[in-house]
Amino acid sequence: MESFQTLDAGRCQVHTLLHPAFRTKELSLRFHLRMARNRVTEVAMLPAVWMNGTRSLPSYRQIALATDHLYGTHIRASISKRGGYHIVEVGASVPDVPGEDEAALVDRALDLVLSLALDHAIGAGGFAEAAVQREKELHRRRIRAVRDDKAAYALQRCHQIVCRGRPAGLPRLGFEEDVEALLPDRLYEVYQQVLAQAEVHAYAVGQFRDMAGLAARVADRLAKALPTKPAMRADEVDRDVVLPAELRDFEEVTEAEDAQQTQFDLAFASGVGFGDDEYPALVMMNGVFGGFAHSKLFMSIRERRSLAYSVWSFVDAATGLLTVYAGISADKRDEVRQILEAELEALRRGEIEASEWQETRATLRNQYQQMLDQPAMLIAWHHHAVIAGRDRTIPEMIESVDQVRPEDAAALATALRPVCLYVLEGRGSRT
């Protein structure tokens, strides 16, 4: 597989990957910037605001009509986070249409993507008063909906507690209490901040006949539309990896909600993030510990003892937090914790069966191989590597995982420090 080629245009970077196996051409424009409490909610709303209209296409209906002339091209806008970075994306998946002029179709899709991100004015399209009012109500609903997925919400709360006071501790969608006071002028002000301060990365992945020409056109268009002040590069800001030595004392927090299950989340600081040499070993260790259905925690807590509805462990690549999360009955929390700690101690002693090790490595290889077949995943992986300041490709990750030894995983398990137990107790979960 070929690797991404990068055109550095100063204010932005254009990354291209010629991939003849993909029938769909993927275009993506990504802005990433540090999260801040005084604008986190406004930034989170921007993708939806963009989709509500631009100066040239002042309503969602007109945007939808524009896509009708692009032969099934899918246009998207989204907000995500990576550690303490907000990522604002607008993109397009352009189908391969036999008999259609490829360059013309791609250029029209590119025009629409750039228009959604850059063609805005105060009082027009998505920044019109009526559109902003509608979007505020929708955003309130999005924030409230986060609590409906209790497992995801508990994991978010656990990480917020550990990362309190840091950008990484801010929620992806911001805060409901911020929404009511938001006015179009304020949203547009934050939009201008994003254009001026964010790192900008454009992507093109797929079968393009003139990839170099496309990259040059994208760079030229962005250079003309973006403020000329260079944004701060990712390697000039602090990493979000939580270092055990910097942490406060262990915290145990219990909250309650109306739910049948209790969510149990125990976070450990590893001090290792995506950009570190030890990251593949951390991923392997997590896979043996609780990442999969063959892992120690799943087999010991769920399969053998039936103490949990589900139990997994998860590594956050940006913060280096390894979190065990389980859906349990409230009266089982102490027993689950004791077994979890016993399994971790066994891992620290190097008690790893050959079958556990081999199955973990095979499962990880399969996951990474599947990513190679998904253009959007290739883009996300590359962009996350840019943010981490580490040029590590998926094939390189596969090779690194193959080289990890059981003693490497045991050493990382030994270095884990428990930092927070968060329990979201379901009022109907006691037996």
Domain boundaries, the chain: 5-225, 251-426
- The total of other beta-carbon atoms located within 10 Å of residue 147's CB is 15
Q: Which CATH number describes the domain made up of 5-225?
A: 3.30.830.10
Is the pTM higher than 0.85? yes
Give pLDDT, residue 97. 85
We find that the CATH architecture of domain 251-426 is 2-Layer Sandwich (3.30)
- Which residue, 241, 254, 253, is CA-closest to 282? 241
* Matching fold, domains 5-225 and 251-426: yes
How deeply is 343 buried, as exposed, middle or buried, from its count of CB atoms within 10 A (0-12, 13-18, 19+)? buried
Side-by-side strand order, sheet with 199-206: 5-8, 12-18, 199-206, 25-34, 85-94, 74-82
Q: 10 Å Cβ neighbour count for 239?
A: 21
| pLDDT at residue 300 in the model | 96
Tokens 């990957």 belong to which residue? Answer: 17
Instruction: List per-block mean pLDDT (blocks of 10 residues) for the chain, which spans 431 residues.
Output: 87 92 92 97 98 96 92 95 98 89 91 96 95 97 94 95 96 97 97 96 94 94 82 58 80 90 96 96 98 96 93 97 96 95 97 97 97 94 95 96 98 96 80 49
| CA-closest candidate to residue 73, choices 13, 122, 113 | 113
CA 42 – CA 187 distance, rounded (Å): 6
For residue 429, the model assigns a pLDDT of 56
Reported as a single tens digit per residue, the pLDDT across 389-417 is 999 999 999 999 999 999 999 999 999 99
- Asked whether the beta carbons of 211 and 16 are under 8 A apart, the reply is yes
